[in-house]
């Protein structure tokens, strides 16, 4: 008898797919609205959101390489709190300039779509 991981059970991968699709749609809508309305502030916000998402993915990948400690026992609550902390850290880094991806993307999209600002 084969035992599957939680991620391979019916319904769990679908939840991740729906969540990722919702995030993709919201960014896509934000960017399209900024371009359609030629809204400089909305374009800047969309670019920062994109950089924040990239930073979060990078941060999670780097964090996964660190060996886990048994000092604090693992639990669902701990995972939720750590995830919230990680998101907030990445958001702060992105708002303070990140690594410049948002600014470069903003400048390129602004000139490509003739958005004044």
Question: Pick the residue with more confidence: 47 or 19?
Answer: 47
Contact 97, 44 (CB under 8 A): no
Supply angle C-alpha 63, 101, 86, rounded to 5.
25
**What's the CA dihedral at 78, 83, 86, 92 to 10 degrees?**
-120
CA–CA dist 12, 15 (Å, integer): 5
For residue range 41-87, what is the model confidence (pLDDT) as tens digits? Answer: 999 999 988 888 899 899 999 999 999 888 888 899 888 998 899 98
Domain boundaries, the chain: 11-112
| DSSP codes joined into one string, 27-54 | HHHHHHHHHHHT-HHHHHHHHHHHHHHH
Contact 32, 43 (CB under 8 A): no
């Amino acid at each position: 008898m084969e035992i599957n991981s939680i991620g391979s059970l019916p319904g769990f991968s679908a939840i991740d797919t729906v969540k990722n699709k919702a995030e993709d749609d919201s960014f896509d809508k934000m960017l399209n609205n900024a371009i359609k309305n030629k809204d400089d502030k909305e374009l800047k916000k969309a670019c920062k959101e994109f950089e924040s998402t990239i930073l979060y993915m990078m941060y999670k990948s780097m964090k996964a390489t660190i060996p886990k400690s048994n000092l604090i026992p693992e639990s669902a609550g701990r995972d939720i709190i750590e995830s919230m902390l990680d998101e907030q850290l990445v958001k702060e880094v992105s708002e303070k300039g990140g690594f410049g991806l948002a600014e470069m993307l903003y400048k390129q999209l602004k000139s490509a779509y003739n958005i004044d600002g």
